[in-house]
Amino acid sequence: AQSVTQPDIHITVSEGASLELRCNYSYGATPYLFWYVQSPGQGLQLLLKYFSGDTLVQGIKGFEAEFKRSQSSFNLRKPSVHWSDAAEYFCAVGGGGGGNKLTFGTGTQLKVEL
């Protein structure tokens, strides 16, 4: 069965500092990996996705993520965080074995200090 672990429940960074949110997955074949962001009171918005090709993927709002098969990881990064990035971030995995279903991690709440 596919699964996702986000080991950090809360992270606090200062505005302008760099950010890395961790995501580890378990999947039997090549996974399809996603990062979503949820602003307070809102649904989830897709930040970026990976399913093949270049292991470094670029997304919206200046985010990027790197797929590392050897570490079963798909960490999200941003070089300089803005106060508006404060939100909850979810990593998700899907693929052929799971059909059309995505399995989500438990989320990481990001707080940005001004």
Binding site for other proteins (CB under 8 A): 6, 9, 32, 34, 36, 41-46, 49, 51, 90, 92, 94-95, 98-107
CB of 57 to other proteins, least distance (A): 12
CB of 16 to other proteins, least distance (A): 29
CB of 84 to other proteins, least distance (A): 18
CB of 75 to other proteins, least distance (A): 17
| SS3 state at 62 | helix
Q: Which is nearer to other proteins, 32 or 85 (CB)?
A: 32
Q: Which is nearer to other proteins, 14 or 106 (CB)?
A: 106
Q: Which is nearer to other proteins, 70 or 100 (CB)?
A: 100
Whole-angstrom Cα distance, residue 91 to residue 4?
7
Q: What tokens does 4 get? A: 């996702």
Helices (H) and strands (E) in the chain, counts: 0, 12
User: Rounded to 5 degrees, what are φ and ψ at 97?
Assistant: -65, -30
Q: Which is nearer to other proteins, 49 or 77 (CB)?
A: 49
Whole-angstrom Cα distance, residue 79 to residue 35?
17
The structure tokens 């990593």 sit at 91
